Amino acid sequence: MSYFEIIYSFRNSTDSPYPEINSEETREAFKMIMKMKNKLSSSKYINIFITDVLNYILIFIIILLISFLFFSFLFNFVIFHLSILRY
């Protein structure tokens, strides 16, 4: 969303024209932009995001490990049975 869209959304009504740069609507829009910026840049949200990313990475590693172990077991099982059948 651009600054222009946010300012436009702060009009008094849907029939109102685009607010002037020095109008109260524009000031309120910029206050809201600053409020959103401060809220999104707080460490609380960044920590939640980092925690989520690390959880997904951990899950991915566990899935890879389980897949590797399963296919390793399957491969060894097949090789073992093929070697028994040869003799």
pLDDT digits (tens, 9 = 90+) for 22-79: 888 888 888 988 888 887 776 666 677 778 888 899 999 999 999 999 988 888 888 7
pLDDT of res. 1: 67
pLDDT of res. 58: 93
Contacts of 8 (CB under 8 A, 6+ apart): 18, 19
Burial class (CB in 10 A: 0-12, 13-18, 19+), 6: middle
- Measured CA to CA, the distance from residue 1 to residue 40 in angstroms comes to 15
What pTM value is reported for the model? Answer: 0.45
pLDDT of res. 61: 94
pLDDT digits (tens, 9 = 90+) for 2-19: 778 888 888 888 888 888
